[in-house]
Every structure is written in C-alpha cells, then in structure tokens.
Structure 1
Amino acid sequence: MSELALVVDGDRHLGWKEIQIRRSLDAMADSFELVLSEKWADRDGTTVEPRRLRTGAPVVVEIDGEPVITGHIDDVLPSYDARSHSLVVSGRSKTADLVDSSSTAQPWETGQTVLQVARRVAEPFGIEVVAEVDVGAPLRALEVEPGQTFGEALGQLASYRALLLVADEQGRLVLTRPPRATLKTELALGENIRVARGRFSDRDRFGEVIVQGQGAADDTWFGRPASGASGRAKDDGIKRHRPTLVLCDTSTDSSSCRQRAEWEVRRRWGQSRGITYTVAGWRHQDGLWRPGDLVPIRDKWMFDEPVEWLITEVQLLLDERGERSEIRVAPQSSYDLEAEPEPERESDVW
C-alpha cells in the first residue's frame, strides 16, 4: 500500500484514512482532500495530539516520497465529540492563485509569445511556467476585460495557439498539447480493470456540419466570395438527415471553413465517447497515473478491437474500499486542439 504524506513546514503528516486527489486536462489546478479520524487515545492510552494545520500554508502532497501536488491549503475542517476527533484538509496547486485572482487591465508589450506572457503574469505569484511543446508565434495586441481572472485570460491566449494549461507535480504552470506520452501499461478486461462505466452518445453529432463565415473583402476579393465563404464535412457514423450550421464570427475563407467543419466532426465524435475505468493502486509500471497520456486498452465489452485512448482525468482514491485509481479516458480527437483566430485589435493593452 502506498504512503501519502502531507508535508507542511517540513513536518510529514501521515495516517490519512480517506484520500482524494484529482488531476484533469480541464483544470489549471489539481486538487486534494484528505480525511483523518482518530480516537482521543491510542490503545496504549497515549493521548493523541491535535494536528494544527492552517489555511494558506504551503504544502506538498507526496506519495511514497514523490511529489504529486505542490500548492496551498484552502480549507481546514476540524471536528470532535466525546469519543473521537476528525480533520478534513483540502487544497490545490499553486496555480489556483491564477484561477482565482483578477485585476484591472494592464498594458503589455506586443510581439510576445504565450510563454512569455504567462511567465510575466505568473511571476508575482511565485509560479514557474514551462512549455512541453512549441508555443508558436508571438501574439498580436490583445485586450483583457477588467475583472477577468488571470487563469481565464491565459486560457484565452493559449487557445490562439492551440495550447492547454495544466499544473505539474511541482506546482508549475505547463503549456502543453496532448498526448504527452504513450504508456506501456494496458487497461485490460479480466486483468487490471475492476470497474468500467461508459458513455456513448450521438446527441451532439450531425450527419453534415456546415461552416459559414464572413470573409474580409478588399479591392480584389469582394461580393459573393467574401460574403459566402463556407465549407462542409460529413460524419459517416450518422445515417439520418441531421445537418447543423456553425457560424464563424471572424474573417475566413472557404478552405478554412472546410477545415473547421472537418475538425468539428472529429471533435464532436471524440467528445461523445468516454469511459471511466477503476483499477487497483495508484501506479502503472512507469509511475503514477496522470492526465494527458495515451493508454492502450483491451476491453471487448466496450470495443471491437484494442484502442489507444487519451487519459483526460485521474482520481487517486483511498477509503473503506481500498486504494484505487479512477481513470477517465476518451478518444484523442476529443482534445484535437485547433487554434482559435485572434481578435483583430489595434489596442496595445494588458
């Protein structure tokens, strides 16, 4: 069984009876919740000393000495009665400060990449920013609304370069694109899979996706070509007549509309499928389960043949049912990122 320690001010707090650690591609900050319940005295009569943990304290959540979450305590919930006492401690990665905090609009220089902007924004918070992939060309001048959180603002900038923002085990902000790695360990029916819960839906899929956009007319390109830019793509998995229209609110041409329609078909299919697998323990053969990795799956109950799907969320759990991982997977196309068009602004703010 793994040993989880909550490290606060150099002290290692052990003995947690319930554990929940959540990491997701959809969250800029990972989270944890730990529960401790003890009698007032040990079996030998030794009185149990209270664990005084304060909100806001820097913490590292470790599993077998390996950091999993580096951040701060958000909530401390102590309680007791005549027989026992309990303590619930929850918190998030350092990057939670970016998720929560906001400010007025701030001027910034044009011609910076997403990585450069993110480092500038994160520096006052003491958060390091790293990139696992090419972050693309510098951004044009942008305007961020006053009161918008730093996390929302950085997420918007990242979308212009088809990037995801996640936290790593050291509490750093990571610019990435899935898949991050391909695992050797399989999820296999009859072997390590304990429980599986699937969702397969066609509600948001359409037999034909039509994308229409408004082109930017000029002296040589105007009239019907500019106003009638459009593209189409078919989803061969939908046999009924189910068309849908997607309108682009930025300047585009027919080629871009067609590419957008094809992307819509792929992404809608990917997002319509998902399975949550439960396996024993918190590790695969090369380390702890984490979101963003591709995992091979052999499951004849869910698939006709073996597949490789993307891990989108991981929960590491411990309670009366034992130590286990809940691993949510989806087709890789569910996170087939496409850069959103940058707004055409001439302002030079934030």
Structure 2
Amino acid sequence: MSALSDASDFVGWSSDDQDEVSIHVSGMTISGWQDVSIRLGLEVMPATARIAFTEYQPDGGYTLSIDPGMRCQVLIGKDLVITGYVSVVETDTDRSGNLMSMEIDSLSIDLIECSAEFATYQMSSTNALAICQQVSRPRGVTVTSIQAAGATDIQQFSVILSETAYEVMERVCRLAGCIFYDQPNGTVLLSPVGATQASSGLIEGENIEHISTRRSLRGRFSEIRAIIQNPVVLFTPPDGEDYVSQMDAVSAPVNAVATDPGVTRARPLLIPVELGDADYAVAKRRVQWEVARRYGRSQVIDLICDSWRDKSGKLWAPNTLVQVKRKSWPTAQIWLIAEVEFARGEDGSRAHITLMPPEAFAPEPLLLPMQSNEAVAAANSSVGDTGADRTSVKQTDI
C-alpha cells in the first residue's frame, strides 16, 4: 500500500498534478505550500527539504500539530523523493496568522551524526557492501548496491571508535572504488559514477532559463609524477640539470606520469608511491586519476531548468548523465548531475542543477589495507635484520 492510500486526511492534494509537493506525516498528507526547497546530491547527505505553510488549515478547520522526530515522506506528484524525519519545526506569527516551516532530513541523518556501533571494531575477510550494511543496520538504514559496486574484498578493516557510520562508509567506499548517496525510499545506494542516463537533455534556449559556468586552473598541474618514498640525497646543490636528474632517479623506476594538456605552463606535482604497491600498479592509476579528477572539479555548470522533469516525466536526479547543449557549443556534451534542488516560490517551480564532468567523482585508487600491512611488516623485518651487521663494524681512529 502506498504512503498516500492509507492517509487519514488530505489537505489540498491532487494526484493529477505531477509536480505537487506533498508530505505524508502522522497520518496526514499535507500540501499547498507557500515555499518549497528539496535538495538532493552526490555530496549532499542527508537529502533535505524545507517547506513553509500556514499552521491553520481552513479547508479542514483545524491547526496542524507537527513535532521534530516524526517519521515522514516527501513526494513530488506520485514520486517519492525523501524518506526521513522532521528535524526542525519553526513558527512565525503575525496579524495574518501563523506561518509554519519544517526541515526534513533523510534517514541517513543518523549515519552522519551518530557514532558507529559494531559487535567488533576490526573485521576481516569481508567486502565493502557488507561493512556498510553492518554499520548502517543499528540506525535502521538499509544499504544496497548496483552494478557490483561494493563487491571489493576488504581483507582487513578497522573502525576508529570515535567515527560516525558515515565516516566509516566513506573510507570503505574509497577502498572499493565506488560512491554512495541517498535514495528516495530512505536506503543508501553504492554505485559506480554515472549509473543512469537521462532520456532528454538540457538545452539553452529551450528548457534552460539561466546558465553559468566556472572554469579554473587552480589545483591543476601540467605534470603529475609518482616517486618512491625514499629520502633524496642531493650530492650537488639543488639547481640546474643536476637537480632534475636526481629527481628523475627516484621517479624513473615507477614510470607513473600523467599530463594535463589544459595546463600550458610548467606546474609539476609529485605524489608518493604507497608502501606495498607491487609493480607500482596503483601509482600508475593514481596519477591518471589525479589529472582527471582535478580537471573534473575545475569545470562546473550551474543552471536553472524550467521543469523538474525530463521529457519522459522522470525527475532530474543525482548521478545521472545528461546531454547539455549551449548555443556557443558546436555539439552537445555529456555531463553528470552532481546536485539538484527542486524549488517553488513566488516565481513558480524551477530546478536548480549543478553539473560536472563524470571524472569529478571518480573514486581515488587506493591500496587495500592488507597489502599495505604486509609491506610494512616486511619493511620492519628487513630493518631488524641489520642489527647484527652493525655490531661487527670496527672503529677506526682518525
């Protein structure tokens, strides 16, 4: 049974209006809002809604009573967009009556604010999805995955006692090479980047009312090179070709270099190779990731769309690939929806959408903990073996 079918009271809701925002809370479905803002995003957890309305409902002849902590659902038309809790309730009284506003957070609010709880704080022989499910279960949040996201085996993982569940999931998903974000039904989804494709695009002069772009070279480098984490002994003053050749000596064995053709002046960046990175495989992926992600984060589009939905009637959603066409571009380009805000006010309904290249959200290649620990143990063992050799060295008078 849907959330709407078992509501005991309806205040102005019409199923014919596909963009009518309604709240199902405490046996009531309430709509007819003065101001609405619903914010969803890949880096927006929890998903939030802020809604203002009159406390007294003349159609029903009663005053609404809503308290923080009530479980609720937010719908746009028949589409569920947030399942969560009423977190804040505010009232503002003047001669015209009482204006009430409430802020709603998705169920993931408890993952973000509450400390993680485990039967054991050190896990082995498991995968990323299982760890995320275990840390979320005490808070009543279900974690699912698509396209095998989170299937990466995590041979050894330790939780810091002061960490929140969200912080644990963030570390685990980085190891698994996936992203995670809120779903309308209150679950959290583990997913690769760009899991869905919009059925229609965003076109300047058609459904785009306003568009702004941001391009930057901050944080971008002409060359990113991985180097071995050994102290560099400079046998000559650090200048000229000698310095360059000595730096090449600590990076040549790794052979992990990536360049950004968009950076025309010399801007080098050195990154260390992780201990235990066999054949420098992670380092080679890491330098490519550094260039791609830094480029992605430097390119941002903010636009206002005149509709909350694409041409197929589906709401704009985070992690969706969409074609964007500007008048000044020769062809359409594929961008990723990073964030969307459904807003309604005196000027009507608008969707505020932030887009970035998909590379902006690509997870960082990391060495799994067990591999790193084995490398540390081997390094410590080799250091310990040198003690006997040192005792046999004879001292010579100078």
TM-score (normalizing by structure 1): 0.88
For residues 262 and 103 of structure 1, the distance between their equivalents in structure 2, rounded to whole angstroms, comes to 34
1:25 paired with 2:42, answer yes
Q: Which residue in 1 is equivalent to 2:81?
A: 68
The answer as to whether partners of 1:78 and 1:87 remain within 8 angstroms in 2 is yes
Supply the AA of the counterpart residue of 1:299.
R
1:59 Cα deviation (Å)?
0.3
Q: Which residue in 1 is equivalent to 2:63?
A: 50
Supply the AA of the counterpart residue of 1:237.
G
Picking from 267, 275, 288, the partner of 1:242 is 267
Pick 1 or 2: higher relative contact order, CA cutoff 8 A, min separation 6. Answer: 1
SS of 1:246's equivalent in the other structure is: strand
Deviations 1:201-236 (A, max 9, x none): 111111111222449xxxxxxxx8899645211111
1:111 paired with 2:125, answer yes
1:60 Cα deviation (Å)?
0.3
Picking from 173, 192, 207, the partner of 1:177 is 192
The answer as to whether partners of 1:214 and 1:226 remain within 8 angstroms in 2 is no
Query: Quick check: 191-200 or 225-234, which moved more?
Result: 225-234
1:151 paired with 2:151, answer no
1:57 Cα deviation (Å)?
0.5
Q: 1:190 to 1:211 in 2, by over 3 A?
A: same
Q: 1:237 to 1:136 in 2, by over 3 A?
A: same
Picking from 268, 272, 276, the partner of 1:251 is 276
The answer as to whether partners of 1:114 and 1:139 remain within 8 angstroms in 2 is yes
1:275 paired with 2:289, answer no
Query: Quick check: 337-346 or 119-128, which moved more?
Result: 337-346
1:248 Cα deviation (Å)?
4.0
Q: 1:230 to 1:106 in 2, by over 3 A?
A: farther
SS of 1:258's equivalent in the other structure is: helix
Q: Which residue in 1 is equivalent to 2:143?
A: 129
Q: Which residue in 1 is equivalent to 2:102?
A: 89
Supply the AA of the counterpart residue of 1:236.
P
Q: Which residue in 1 is equivalent to 2:113?
A: 100
In structure 2, runs of 5+ residues without a counterpart are 1-16, 231-248, 375-398
Q: Which residue in 2 is equivalent to 1:141?
A: 156
For residues 83 and 48 of structure 1, the distance between their equivalents in structure 2, rounded to whole angstroms, comes to 16
TM-score (normalizing by structure 2): 0.78
SS of 2:193's equivalent in the other structure is: coil
Picking from 22, 27, 35, the partner of 2:52 is 35
Supply the AA of the counterpart residue of 1:233.
A
Q: Which residue in 1 is equivalent to 2:182?
A: 167
Q: 1:75 to 1:250 in 2, by over 3 A?
A: farther
1:304 Cα deviation (Å)?
4.2
SS of 2:69's equivalent in the other structure is: coil
The answer as to whether partners of 1:184 and 1:296 remain within 8 angstroms in 2 is no
Larger helix fraction of residues: 2
Supply the AA of the counterpart residue of 2:286.
R
Query: Quick check: 328-337 or 136-145, which moved more?
Result: 136-145
Q: Which residue in 1 is equivalent to 2:357?
A: 331
1:65 Cα deviation (Å)?
2.2
In structure 1, runs of 5+ residues without a counterpart are 216-223
Q: 1:100 to 1:250 in 2, by over 3 A?
A: farther
SS of 1:251's equivalent in the other structure is: coil
Picking from 312, 321, 336, the partner of 1:294 is 321
1:35 Cα deviation (Å)?
1.0
The answer as to whether partners of 2:123 and 2:157 remain within 8 angstroms in 1 is no
Q: 1:250 to 1:73 in 2, by over 3 A?
A: farther
1:81 Cα deviation (Å)?
2.2
1:340 paired with 2:366, answer yes
SS of 1:153's equivalent in the other structure is: helix
For residues 201 and 252 of structure 2, the distance between their equivalents in structure 1, rounded to whole angstroms, comes to 50
1:267 Cα deviation (Å)?
1.2
Deviations 1:75-122 (A, max 9, x none): 001121232211110011111111111046751541111111222222
Q: Which residue in 1 is equivalent to 2:386?
A: none
The answer as to whether partners of 1:230 and 1:257 remain within 8 angstroms in 2 is no
Structure 1 or 2, whichever has the larger Rg, is 2
SS of 2:63's equivalent in the other structure is: coil
For residues 326 and 337 of structure 1, the distance between their equivalents in structure 2, rounded to whole angstroms, comes to 25
Query: Quick check: 4-13 or 226-235, which moved more?
Result: 226-235
Size of the aligned set, in residue pairs, is: 333
For residues 180 and 9 of structure 1, the distance between their equivalents in structure 2, rounded to whole angstroms, comes to 34
The answer as to whether partners of 1:20 and 1:317 remain within 8 angstroms in 2 is yes
The answer as to whether partners of 2:144 and 2:188 remain within 8 angstroms in 1 is yes
